[in-house]
Amino acid sequence: MNARALAAAVLCAVLLQQGGAVAVQSDDEGRIRTLLAGVERALRANDRSAFLGLLAPAADATRAQNFTTLEFRPGATRAAVIERDRQQLSGSLPGLGHRVLVDVFVEYGDRARIASWQLDIKRIDGVEWRVADEERISTVENLYRLSVNPGRQFRARNFTVRSEDLELRLVDGVVFTVDTDQGVTGLVMSGRGEMHFEPAAETEKGQVRIFAGDTKIETRFDAAFVRVGELSLHANQDELVAVPIEPRELRRAEEIFRVESGKSYALELGDLTSENWSLAPVAGDFVAEVRTSRFDTLTYVRSRNEPEDISVFNRRRGRNIAVYPSLERLATRGPFYNEDDSAVYDVLDYDIDLAATPTPDRQWLEGRATLRLKVVAASTSQLSLRLADSLMVHSVVSEQYGRLFSLRVRNQNTVLVNLPYTLLRDAELTVTIAYSGRLAPQPPERETVAAQPPLPRTQEPPNRMMMEVNVPTGERSYLYSSRNNWYPQPPVSDYATARIRITLPAGLACVATGEMEGPPVMVPSQAGAAPRRRFEFVASRPVRYLAFIASRFARADRVTVAFDAGAPAEDGRGTTPFASTAPAITGAVFDTMTLTVEANPLQVPRGRQLINEAADIARFYDSLIGDAPYESFTLALVEHLLPGGHSPAYFAALNQPLPNTPLRWQSDPVNFEGFPEFFLAHEMAHQWWGQAVGWRNYHEQWLSEGFSQYFAALYAEHRYGNEVFGEMLRQLRKWAIDRSDQGPVYLGYRLGHIRNQPTVFRALVYNKGAAVLHMLRRLVGDDAFLRGLRRFYVGARFTKVGTEDFRAAMEAESGRPLDRFFQRWIYSATLPKMTFTSRVEAGGDGRQEVVLHFAQEGDIFDIPVSMTLQYTDRHVQNVLVPITDRTAEIRVPLTGTLRNVVFNADDGALVEIKRN
């Protein structure tokens, strides 16, 4: 499941951060409590003079009056003032003055607001506490306590609620409204309804077909809850006829409301109130929870904040069915987008101190992360950070602005930090977040092959089916990376430098993003506890995200790999696939890389073998690109039931399957016979593709996986020659053709997502992506291809880019338009339909020629096809035919007696011939 896409649809469920509770013991504490209770009473009664009566003699009364004008309002029905944080007041002696941060919650009937205040309090005459100064830090206005309006019931006949591509028609039923002082904010519909959803785009139709068996969702529903910013945009209320209240119908509506309304816009406010409060959607926003007869409850969301502002999903199963831009969004931003376009700030640097006990009995993290940020939006007064829900935020402190007020957004791994001032573009600030909590390591997935059940062999083995088997799992390792939000980070990945200190139980070691700085140091522990070891890592080049893996590691080996800039790798073992005149990279280029292998104890000998292989791979990739993006690379060999790996910047964790593993994975798209270093080569390629060159949204993931897959294939070609390379091409092609009907490469994680088929994802994003690169190389030639790769890499290094950037680089170096090439192979799912005929006839000079004739039906593809002429004397002749039109015909003079013509003998083209 893509957390971001789903989270976006969930909209907002905010949980107020429960700050460090202050123990109340002494009399003095009691008196401070009394003061805050007095503030609470004054607020509740809107009694400004009562508040002024709490002031210290030296307090600024005018300032206090202005404060009450802003913060005290008539009509309050309940108020709560809760202390969150306390520091000594500067200029006061210890115990005589505090700066107190309080959260304030005030209800006005079914409306409420939250504010965060900073109160300076002083002890007067050694006894009583008074307010010396007061300031509002931030507010959240317009919270609503929603309920079904019990005074209005409507009869509906063909009452229709619409949003783009969606129609909910209540053929015969009952409607209740959910009202605020702003009008109708929700509808509860029950009775006999019909849901119709049909996206306009072909790709989305294809995904709906995978889900529903048809390009549209047509189903009955018996209940729906709809939440709207502006009802008149979606329905005509005049179609409803008021009828007398039926208690049974009202109870049913209230039950539907109780279950469905909390799923979006819902706030949970911790100790401020136990009741359910809700934010108001803005005009144009729309959410429908539809209880269908065929598909469980389906959720449709239109959300203005998202670049793809329409989505339909099954919330319970965590499956996105359709996610795409509305027509309006498409018209304003065009077909492509960069997720960074909506970024509010840019992280420049991280400094993280983390104490981790990742073992299963604890899984405990305690961290302090300092982020240096720069505002990139025009202005902002709030920062949104991603952090795992289970990690409690203890404090957020800014170097520039002191303590900051923060809210937790529940179920979305999000912390909202309110700023005391609106910051403008280019403003820089530093915030330190202290946090702790239980957090499990993330499971290895995606990059690990799928286990297959023994027999019978089903087409799509469930990924985790065999993991239940009770077998020795080897040395445990604990991975914290991009998927479990172990440190505060921006909502989307963002290049930054970093320094990370990780303290672990003494038995564990770790590998992390960055070059290890010095040996680990023993850290004295508190009374009686076991000693711990601290590791420090520095990422001096920008990285997309931070990661570490902890396990029992021993150093297997370390070497310095020397690069010969621009020169092809030369070790005499294999062939160099390219003869290129491509220019070398300009700018800072490393001419060496420190290569280290850390391994689980039993894997140390294997590690010593692998380091030479890894060095060879690094030299080879550097020779292709002319750069290595990071100055060090550590390979962490960990034991696992299945082969696979994970590659953040600066390191890769590589699974070493145990010899006694009972699992089979031979028919996985990324299992390549005859190429034992496949995973090592793939994971190392990610240092260039995926890490140094980032993808700008989920659609572009093939720039990471397809490229790493193709680089691994190129290494196979270099290391083992054409036979192994040919075998890889065969497998890339087989999987790509087999699964192309599941959607275009451009769907990224959504390939195979609806039915939870990770092999579909790998078959298309990895294998088809790589096969497309091979066809592109064939089409433009080795030299232009390598030049294009380098141009793309140089322009993209340490940024997030898309297919269009790659196309531009390749067009510039090849001098030919490639829009149709990428349109067919990346943005759409179809495959070419081709017929081929050949005949032998006399040429102009009377010599025998073979005429090869190709014809495409349907969409025209640009597709280079290798043709093999087999002669009776057993010699063969290879001819590459670039087919870029409806028909193509070439004549090849024969060099003997022709026995046979083999179409696409090297499997380099993604096409299956239609025999005529």
Where do contacts with Zn ion occur on this chain (CB under 5 A)? Answer: 447, 705, 708
If the CB atoms of residues 705 and 811 are measured against Zn ion, the closer one turns out to be 705
If the CB atoms of residues 46 and 442 are measured against Zn ion, the closer one turns out to be 442
Rounded distance between C-alpha atoms, residue 723 and residue 174, angstroms: 69
Q: How far is the CB of 849 from Zn ion (least distance, A)?
A: 46
Burial class (CB in 10 A: 0-12, 13-18, 19+), 841: exposed
Q: How far is the CB of 657 from Zn ion (least distance, A)?
A: 17
If the CB atoms of residues 516 and 685 are measured against Zn ion, the closer one turns out to be 685
Q: How far is the CB of 2 from Zn ion (least distance, A)?
A: 17
If the CB atoms of residues 406 and 709 are measured against Zn ion, the closer one turns out to be 709
Count Cα atoms within 13 angstroms, Cβ side, for 841: 8
Q: Under a CB-based contact definition with an 8 Å cutoff, are residues 537 and 514 in contact? A: yes
Instruction: Output the CA angle 193-194-196, nearest 5 degrees.
Output: 150
Q: How far is the CB of 655 from Zn ion (least distance, A)?
A: 13
Sheet with 128-144: list strands edge to edge.
78-88, 97-108, 111-124, 128-144, 277-279, 266-268, 13-16, 405-409, 414-424, 379-386
Q: How far is the CB of 645 from Zn ion (least distance, A)?
A: 7
Omega prior to 456 cis, within 30 of 0: yes
Which stretches does DSSP call E strand in 451-531?
477-480, 496-505, 509-512, 515-516, 521-523
Q: How far is the CB of 647 from Zn ion (least distance, A)?
A: 7
Q: How far is the CB of 709 from Zn ion (least distance, A)?
A: 7
Q: How far is the CB of 689 from Zn ion (least distance, A)?
A: 9
What is the three-class DSSP state of 25? coil
Contacts of residue 662, Cβ cutoff 8 Å, sequence gap at least 6 = 466, 469, 471
Distance of CA 706 to the CA centre of its chain: 18
Two structure tokens written together for 295: 């598909």
Q: Give CA separation, 791 vs 477, 563, 694, 805, 825, in Å.
A: 38, 20, 15, 10, 21
Q: Under a CB-based contact definition with an 8 Å cutoff, are residues 161 and 187 in contact? A: yes
Instruction: Read off φ and ψ for residue 360, nearest 5 degrees.
Output: -55, -30
If the CB atoms of residues 4 and 646 are measured against Zn ion, the closer one turns out to be 646
Q: How far is the CB of 704 from Zn ion (least distance, A)?
A: 7
If the CB atoms of residues 273 and 481 are measured against Zn ion, the closer one turns out to be 481
Instruction: Output the CA angle 417-421-426, nearest 5 degrees.
Output: 90
If the CB atoms of residues 708 and 767 are measured against Zn ion, the closer one turns out to be 708
If the CB atoms of residues 207 and 647 are measured against Zn ion, the closer one turns out to be 647
Which stretches does DSSP call E strand in 183-318?
183-197, 217-228, 241-243, 266-268, 277-279, 286-292, 297-302, 310-314
If the CB atoms of residues 252 and 753 are measured against Zn ion, the closer one turns out to be 753
Q: How far is the CB of 683 from Zn ion (least distance, A)?
A: 7
Q: Under a CB-based contact definition with an 8 Å cutoff, are residues 879 and 846 in contact? A: no
Pairing mode, strands 912-914 and 833-842: parallel
Q: How far is the CB of 320 from Zn ion (least distance, A)?
A: 22
Q: How far is the CB of 421 from Zn ion (least distance, A)?
A: 43
What is the three-class DSSP state of 353? strand
Closest by alpha carbon to 593, among 480, 698, 687? 687
Q: How far is the CB of 648 from Zn ion (least distance, A)?
A: 11
Q: Give CA separation, 913 vs 255, 768, 778, 910, in Å.
A: 59, 18, 19, 10
If the CB atoms of residues 447 and 622 are measured against Zn ion, the closer one turns out to be 447
Instruction: Output the CA angle 563-565-569, nearest 5 degrees.
Output: 65
Count Cα atoms within 13 angstroms, Cβ side, for 201: 21
Q: Under a CB-based contact definition with an 8 Å cutoff, are residues 397 and 368 in contact? A: no
- The kind and range of the H/E element at 411 are none
If the CB atoms of residues 491 and 648 are measured against Zn ion, the closer one turns out to be 648
If the CB atoms of residues 199 and 669 are measured against Zn ion, the closer one turns out to be 669
Instruction: Read off φ and ψ for residue 773, nearest 5 degrees.
Output: -60, -40
Q: How far is the CB of 650 from Zn ion (least distance, A)?
A: 16
If the CB atoms of residues 353 and 677 are measured against Zn ion, the closer one turns out to be 677
Q: How far is the CB of 679 from Zn ion (least distance, A)?
A: 9
R_g of the chain computed on alpha carbons: 32
Closest by alpha carbon to 43, among 106, 95, 135? 106
If the CB atoms of residues 347 and 716 are measured against Zn ion, the closer one turns out to be 716
If the CB atoms of residues 324 and 749 are measured against Zn ion, the closer one turns out to be 749
